[in-house]
A and B are shown apart, each in its own frame.
Chain A
Amino acid sequence: MAALAAGKGAFREEEGTGGDAAAPQLHAPTSAPGARLSRLPLARVKALVKADPDVTLAGQEAIFILARAAELFVETIAKDAYCCAQQGKRKTLQRRDLDNAIEAVDEFAFLEGTLD
């Protein structure tokens, strides 16, 4: 788990110092006109927000930021799961790697029991 924590630290830094710079230009948030700012469709994210009965109104910016946060979350959890796969000397991410990552990383505690 120390390797996972170390890997986690390395991945966090990469994200914090503009990890998007390594991503293809089309997907990085840029000021170029027409550049795609979000890969996830906002309509689907809005449907998820709408599923919460306590939510009345949601601004477009909020929907966008949630979409972008979901993308970052997918990147983060994939990288953490890959750390677990590496420990098992595998190059294919399995479901158990994801379960191990959820167990190891405190920030993913909200996912426990929700993916079954």
Chain B
Amino acid sequence: MKQGPCSEEDCFSLLKQFEHILESDPLIDEVGFIHPSQFIMLDEEASSSNVYQNEVQPNNGTSRKFWNKDHKLGISTDILVQLCKYAKHVFLLALDEYKCHGNISCSPCTPESEVMKHSQAVLLLSSDFGTAWNARKLILSKKDQLSAFTEELRLSGLILSNSPKSESTWSHRRWIIKMISQRFSTPQEIITKESELVESIGERSKMNYRAWYHRCWLVSYMEIEQVIQELNKSKRWAGLHVADSSCFHYRRRLMLKILESLYVKGGNAYDKSEARKNWKEELDWNKELVERYVGREALWLHRRFLSLNWIMYFACNDSDVSPEPGESIIINEEIAIFIDNEIQLLESSMTVPDTKFEDFQAQALHAAVYMLWLTKKMPELWRMLEEKLGTEKVKCVMSTIALERPSLLHHLVNV
């Protein structure tokens, strides 16, 4: 494996090769950085009927640096650093040219197209290069065809295939969507596709907060019908990913939008009863999951949101006015029954049949914390807790928390 700096000529030819591949295969949907030793193996793996080779054959003695088959592009890791540095350098020169002289040029390559070509190359190698993204924004903001923006979505999708956690890339996608919605209309389809993209990226790239944040951001562009569709579509995935707090956070964002719509419009009776039905379903489903998958904090956190809002907005005596925060909640019969059931759930969660897998202990802890959190939001709950469980059991609940999360206990108990 050749090491050491490559000459300016070498870099130039590599960049040319790279940009040529990108141009000649606009359907590339995946980019990867691969070890030089993998080229042969990848050749073997790829469809044998597809004889298409990288057109620019390397000279004798030079090893291959790019692998391109079936719309996949691999870049050898041994040239990454030099290629990236060189591409940045060339991009900055092009940007200078564009800023100084505008888009006038005698050659067929306009400064604008040079900037776009080189910024694409740079960003595929180093996705967080802000200057490149901003240059593209500058040029794109002067375009008036939707296709320019959808093409940009394609490029950023390609970059995400290799850098799924790149914040600049996700942020750029939001910029594109904002531009589309300002200049054209926001077809629901774009938002749906974005949501699906996040789900597929979330599937293969775990703990991807930035992807999920992006999905939550999309909700502000959704109409209520789409919100409900999203809730239904993403339910199955959530049920299979019970340790993933982000996906339940996304559901809360969706449900919050439903809640908001009820009070902003002064929702009519039908809307509210639909929302009520959805809420009850979510509560029941969450309970099933909590009982089925023991000791999952994400599920209990989700229940906090569901329960509190159920009490405050749905179980309350019918009114179109949302309760003020801090206002005392009047415990009507429906609320009393609901709380009763929650206390029962707490009781059953506190039994720890065995300590081998830590799951039952975790369940007891999360249930205890959940209940304590509710009492902080609803001080009236304390009395009911003491009445139903008795002082001894309540002490047991508190000591469970004290053992595992003493600072949390301190925080929740003190006003």
Are A and B part of the same complex? no
Q: Hey, which bits of chain A sit against chain B, CB under 8 A?
A: none
